[in-house]
Amino acid sequence: MQLFHTIQGLREALGAERLAGRRIGFVPTMGNLHDGHLALLQQARESCHVVVCSIFVNALQFGLNEDWDRYPRTLDADMEKLQSIGCDYLFHPADSEMYPNGLDSQTRVVCPTMTDILCGASRPGHFEGVTTVVTKLLNIVQPDEAVFGLKDYQQLAVIRRMAQDLCMATRIVAAPIHREADGLAMSSRNSYITADERPRAGQLYNTLQWIADQIKQGRRDFSLLEVEGKQQIGSAGFRVDYLAVCNSRNLEAAAVDDQEVTVLGAMYTRNARLIDNLSLTLDTRGKADAE
């Protein structure tokens, strides 16, 4: 695996790969890699000749009083994991490389839809930081495809819309959620969960599954399901950020005749904010299958 800190160095190396006719896959990350990240890279490997990973903790997507300063930075361990699965290139730029003119004067990429609800309502400016840095990274790497995990469902939807609106050539690919044995979605922030909270941390996923089961059984009172689900999470000792049954395509509140529905939720542990989702496809008879 080759490590690059500069845009120019990475571009030159990938330019040679491109001239050789090799297909390039890309997985952007903020590091502190776990098996979920590695699965994204393995998925990219299945359809591409060359796999690129980036590790950059992007200050632009962190709000006030968020965890940018303490976000885990584990480069040595991350590199060992990347080498073990055959990643070809790692891009690990400094802040000054990504934002040479500083954050305050950085040109921003703004997606006008789906960014002020759900996670966007709790984290103002977050998605503007995401779309800006992802645009920069896609311009730097110029991959044939970029793989993003479905755990960040809203982020994936926003990035897909951004890529479509900006006529980007990169294909945006979704990868399944990787989970722990109890259903907890793998996340770099899971390390913030305290030992006493950990046995209960799967409650968010349990609640999403319960709502999905209720929908499968024919319930369409989505607002009431949200209220009941929030009560379940609260009873487990966690604070709910949001719990919503949405149209899978535009993330608006689901209608009773929607065929593609996603249940999304976020909850707070003592030191972490956890997110998760579960999608359903409703057939013409009103039944549903979980995805």
**pLDDT in tens for each of the 291 residues of the chain?**
999 999 999 999 999 999 999 999 999 999 999 999 999 999 999 999 999 999 999 999 998 778 888 898 999 999 999 999 999 999 999 999 999 999 999 999 999 999 999 999 999 999 999 999 999 999 999 999 999 999 999 999 999 999 999 999 999 999 999 999 999 999 999 999 999 999 999 999 999 999 999 999 999 999 999 999 999 999 999 999 999 999 999 999 999 999 999 999 999 999 999 999 999 998 755 455 655
Is 183 part of a structural domain of the chain? no
Same domain, 128 and 192: no
Same domain, 68 and 155: yes
Q: DSSP of 37-106, one letter per residue?
A: HHHHHHHHHHH-SEEEEEE---GGG--TTSSTTTS---HHHHHHHHHHTT--EEE---HHHH-TT-STT-
Residue 14 and residue 235: Cα distance in Å, rounded? 52
Residue 285 is predicted with a pLDDT of 57
User: Do 200 and 276 sit in the same domain of this protein?
Assistant: yes
The sign of the CA dihedral 279, 35, 66, 204 is positive
Tokens of 116: 């002020």
In a domain, 248, yes or no: yes
Is residue 159 domain-shared with residue 197, that is, in the same domain?
Answer: no
Residue 182 lies in a domain: no
Task: State the CB neighbour count (10 A cutoff) for residue 19.
Answer: 8
In a domain, residue 265? The reply is yes
233 and 132 housed in the same domain: no
* Residue 89 confidence (pLDDT): 98
Catalytic residue among 5, 37, 49, 126: 37
| Residue 181 maps to a domain | no
- Compute the C-alpha angle 120/123/126, nearest 5°: 75
pLDDT of residue 70: 85
Assigned domain for 122 exists: yes
Task: Look up the domain containing 273 and give its range.
Answer: 188-290
**Residues 129 and 208 reside in one and the same domain:** no
Whether 144 and 65 share a structural domain: yes
37 is catalytic: yes
pLDDT of 125 reads 94
